[in-house]
Amino acid sequence: MTVLLVIAAAVVVLVLGGRFYSRFIAAQIGEDASRPTPAVVKNDGRDYVPTPTPVVFAHHFASIAGAGPIIGPVLAIIYGWLPALLWVLLGGVLIGGVHDYLATYIATREGGQSVATIARRILGKDAFVAFTILLVVMLALVCAAFLNLSATALTSMLPFDRLELPRDQSLFRVATEGGKEMIVIGGIASMSVVVITAVAPLMGYLYLKRKVAVWKCSLLAIAICAVSITVGLYYPIRLSPTSWKLLLSGYVLVAAGVPVWIFLQSRDFINVHILYVGMAALLVTLLVAGLRGASVADPIPATNLDEGTKALGVFWPTMFIVIACGAVSGFHSLCAGGTTCKQITSETAARRIGYYGMLLESFLAVCVIAVLMIGASKAHYIVDVHPRTLAGLRSSPNAVLGFAMAVGNTVKLAFGVPIVVGALAGMVLLEGFLVTTLDTAIRLTRYLIEEIWRTLFGAYDVFSAPVAGGEPAWRKGEAVPVGADGLPPAPAAADQPAAPAAPIATAGIARWSLKLLRQYWLNSGLAVALTLAFALTGGVKTLWGIFATSNQLLAAIVLSLAALWLLRQGRRLWFAFIPAMAMLATTGASLALLLRKYLAAPAKNATLLTANIVIIAIAVYLLAVGFKAVAAHVRGRGAAGGK
């Protein structure tokens, strides 16, 4: 019954937060439902399109929800389920929801621009370049962490007795490890991903080109998911982890350059059905298991700080970093400043989509915690998720397997079906989100790299080449829109460096080099190369620490930008400033701990050490520029008051 109380308490906290705290913030920042939004004012039928709030909410939630709110709680519940639950609920209401709402609202008020562009408006060009480099490093770490997770999931193996299967079973492939026969469960989920990816262009063609009704496409998407799993059962993928990483890297290299409807949007459309159905099934399973009072033997305790410290590190800041997306995620601000702010029809919708979207993600994290409470045997969980630090084993940590087995046990306790059914469902659910995140993040990284080149070399003729309509962008006075599906667009003309009377002419090697920088395949290749550099030099747990830290740091910076924006608007800002300072302190402490860890073996951790130093340097620089901007604003107000 404990899990029922946990779910009930979570619902109450999240509903009250959405009902009262979000409205309180709306009153403080001056939310005005009658003020026209960019979607209404700039309606161009392409980038700025007024869209019903429920439709935008579904799009936004599909963009922000992925593997993060699952993997983070799985790793961090070793501290105990109670600290993890409290951080998800309080963080979601007081920090994450505020961050997402303010990012969406401010992007809307600023004409539908990205957070990077808003940073340029407030802090200047140099801060924009530094901020964009930080985003590139963070997204490369995101991709590397999820690439490694996907490769680990592919080769996940379990003993026969864990899955309660007979030796003569023919459903799963059998492999030998350490002289023992093991069930290979991961290849089925990976084949499911391949099938869904292969048919994604057809789905995009149907609902975008042929204008087939959405409900018909939804039925087809559900059928595709079912077929993909069936194909995976009969033809599971059999690749080494390194081969799988290279295969996925080749795929995202192509996907980052083709039109978004071919893979990115179409895969999202199919996978969102897995998300919604999976969340609903997870909740029903938890309720049934809770009503039956079910729980595995040796469950994870409410508090377990000693073993948590041994497994991951000191409780603060580690747990607050490891659980990122379920409590607060800087990545959400990129989605908010992408297409979300260009589709909403009122400022009230910015709150309902931004704040409530975060709360729904927090609830997903709560469901994951609840599944681990019921279905994760502590001994098995440690062997799966923390084998080296707590069990003294040489096997690699496998958070995906830990989640899948917890789902399998919970499904069995609730409905009496074999463990393998739920385990396979959990694996398919998570594996699909891992690859979808790779799609989005690599494309976004490519856009950001292109934006850096455009900012640094925009005065040269190569970057003033003709755009749609035949005229160069510098003459038309507008940037080429590049954002799609939650990805930030190019900045508006007012935020571009001052256009010269005529572009600077180039020739020879200089011209060839600048033309090379405009090639999508080069920038996609740089994004993939940086991802592989991180993925091949760090394991899942190692990468998760620095990825989650950079992600939380981005949230802290966005909250700081929001506070500065509110200051310039003459509004109250404590609800943004206090969370910003809390997250800056937490991420600062985490960066210091990671730096000490990497310096202990600099040769082994050279890539991650370099990334850590770059992140620290950029964070310090942005803080300095931010404080300078605050001081200038205060001086300006003082001078105005003196007159």
Q: What is the pLDDT of residues 304-338, one digit of tens each?
A: 999 999 999 999 999 999 998 889 999 899 888 87
The pLDDT value recorded for residue 45 is: 67
- Is 299 in contact with 376 (CB distance < 8 Å)? yes
- Give the residue, 470 or 309, on which the prediction is more confident: 309
Mean pLDDT value across residues 577-594: 96
User: In this predicted model, what pLDDT tens digit does every residue of 427-436 receive, in sequence order?
Assistant: 877 776 677 6
What is the average pLDDT score of the chain? 84
Q: Please spell the DSSP secondary structure of 182-194, one letter per residue.
A: EEE-HHHHHHHHH
Retrieve residue 20's tokens.
């009262």
**b/e map 357-373, b = 16+ CB within 10 Å:** bbbbbbbbbbbbbbbbb
Question: Quick one: pLDDT at residue 549?
Answer: 94
Identity at 60, one-letter amino acid code: H
Q: How many CA atoms lie within 13 A of 603 on its CB side?
A: 0
- Across the beta sheet with 157-159, what order do the strands follow? 157-159, 180-184, 173-177
**Is the separation of the CB atoms in 319 and 96 below 8 Å?**
no
Write the CB contacts of 44 (distance below 8 Å, at least 6 apart in sequence). none
Residue type, 166: P
Helix, strand or coil for residue 180?
strand
Average pLDDT estimate for 538-547: 79
C-alpha 118: how far from its chain's center? Answer: 21
Cα–Cα–Cα angle for 360, 32, 42, rounded to 5 degrees: 90
Report residue 173: phi and psi, to 5°: -70, 145
How confident is the model over 330-366, as pLDDT tens digits?
Answer: 989 988 887 788 888 999 999 999 999 999 999 999 9
Domain chopping of the chain, boundaries: 2-451+527-642
**Structure tokens of 141?**
């770490």
Three-state DSSP class for residue 80 = coil
> Which residue bears the tokens 């899948």?
404
* pTM for this prediction: 0.86
Q: What pLDDT is recorded for position 340?
A: 84
H or E stretch covering 562: helix 540-569
Reply yes or no on whether the pLDDT at 466 is more than 60. no
Higher pLDDT, 210 or 79: 79
Give whole-number Cα distances, 35 to 44, 75, 105, 139, in Å.
Answer: 19, 44, 12, 34
Percentage helix, strand, coil, to 5, in the chain? 75, 5, 25
Strand runs labelled E in 169-231: 173-177, 180-184
- What are 406's two structure tokens? 């917890």
Whether 326 contacts 66, CB under 8 Å: no
**CB-neighbour burial class of residue 541 (10 A; exposed 0-12, middle 13-18, buried 19+):** buried
Model pLDDT, residue 230: 85
